[in-house]
Amino acid sequence: MLAQLFSLIDPGFALLLLAELIALGLGFWLARRWLRGPWRSAAIVVLAILAVRIALFGNPLAWGAYYVALQGHADWRQTDIIAQRFRSMLPAPRNTEFLAVGSSQTHAIYRGLSREREELRLFSLAGMTPMDMALYQDRIIALRPAQVLLYISEFDLAAELRPEWARLAPVPLHRIPERAAVVQDALPSGSLPDLRRDLLLGALLPEYRYNFVFRGLLNRAAQLAHLPGFGPGRSADDAVNYAALRARGQHSMQSQGQLLDVFLRSLEQAGIGAVLVEGQYNPKGETPDLRRQNAAFGQYLAALQRQHPKLAVIRREELPQLTSADFSDAYHLSPEAGYRLAEAVLRTARQRLGQGRAMTRLDTSP
C-alpha cells in the first residue's frame, strides 16, 4: 500500500518526504533515549510541531483535501495555488512540447485540448500577470517544456498590482533576494515594501504562506453551520468582470511589461522557447481607453521582438476572430470557443516554429 502511494508521487519529493519521516522518527527515539527533564520535553515539542507541519503542508493527501473542501468557496487565486501545490508533488509530465502559462483566460482556452493532447500542458493561476511569471519562473522552468505558450494582451499588462498574491509565490530560499529585487525594481516605488520579508517568512514558515487555507476552512465550516456573516469567498457577478475589464484601460503597462521581459530572459537562459499569442477579450467590454492601449500594445510587441529575436509572436489577425458569442463573460472563452482557438494556436505556432522565423511583420502604427 505504501509502495503504491509513493509511486503516485514525484520521485524526488517522495525521497524527501521519506527522509523527513525517518529523521522525525530518529529524532523522537534519540530524545526519549538520551534527553532528560525539560530538554526532552522541549525536543519532543519541536519534533511534534515538525510532524504537524508535514501532516498539514508536506504531503499531497492534505493538499488534495484542501482543494476538495475549498473549491468554489475560496478566492480563485487561492484555489489555484492549492491545486498547483498538489501538482508539484506529483510526477512531472515528460516530453511537454507546449506549456500554456497564464491566467484563467489561458485555462479557459487550453483546458479542453490539454486533456486530449499529451504534448500540451497547463500552468495557470487566476489573475496571473507577468509579475507572477517572474516570481513563479523556477516552478515553470522545472517542468522543462520545449515551448512556453503565453496568451497576453493589454488587459494583462494593465493589471492592477496584487501584493497579497505576490507573497504567496513559492520562490526558493536562495533566490528570494534576487527575485524580490527584480520585482521591486520594476514596480512603482513603495508598491511591495515587504516583499522580501514576506517571501522569506513564507519559505521558512509554511503556516505563514498558506494561512489562507485555514481561514478558508474556518469560513467554510461557518457556512455549513449557517452562522451569520459568513458568505461565499468569491463573486460570480458578471457586471463586476466587465467593470474590472474597463478599469484596466486606465492603468500603466510599463511595470508588467518590464517583468515580462525578465520572464522571457529567464526562459532563454534555460533553453526554453516562447510563443506569445496576442490575447483577446469580449468586444462588449471595449472602451476608448482599451483601444488606445491596444495600439500601444502593438508597439510594445514590436519592441519586445527586437529584444528577443527568438520569440514567436502570433497576432490577433492571424487567428480566428472572436465575437461576444464566443465568451462566457467579459474575458473567458466558452469551452467550445476555447477548444477551437487552442487548436488554431498550436497549428499556427508549429507552422511558425517550423519555418524558423519568429514572427510576421508587426504593424507599429498607432
Residue 29: what pLDDT? 93
Positive or negative, the CA dihedral 257, 263, 268, 269 is: positive
Topology, domain 93-355: Rossmann fold (3.40.50)
User: 274: which strand partners?
Assistant: 148
Residue 254: what pLDDT? 84
Task: Name the residue type at position 216.
Answer: G
338/316 Cα distance (integer angstroms): 14
Positive or negative, the CA dihedral 253, 259, 263, 269 is: positive
**Which pTM value belongs to this model?**
0.85
Domain boundary assignment for the chain: 2-57, 93-355
Task: Name the residue type at position 142.
Answer: A
- Residue 36: strand, helix, or coil: coil
The stretches in the chain having pLDDT less than 70 are 1-8, 229-252, 355-366
The number of beta carbons lying within 10 Å of the beta carbon of residue 119 is 15
263/171 Cα distance (integer angstroms): 14
Residue 136: what pLDDT? 96
Residue 164: what pLDDT? 82
158/65 Cα distance (integer angstroms): 35
Residue 1: what pLDDT? 40
Taking the CA atoms of residue 179, residue 184, residue 187 and residue 191 in that order, the dihedral angle to the nearest 10 degrees is 120
Name the DSSP letter for residue 234.
Answer: S
Residue 92: what pLDDT? 80
Which cell is 85 given?
501545490
281/333 Cα distance (integer angstroms): 8
pLDDT in tens, 138-173: 999 999 999 999 999 888 888 777 878 898 999 999
- Residue tagged 513559492 (cell numbers): 170
Nearest to 354 by CA among 277, 266, 298, 273: 273
The number of beta carbons lying within 10 Å of the beta carbon of residue 35 is 14
Residue 351: what pLDDT? 92
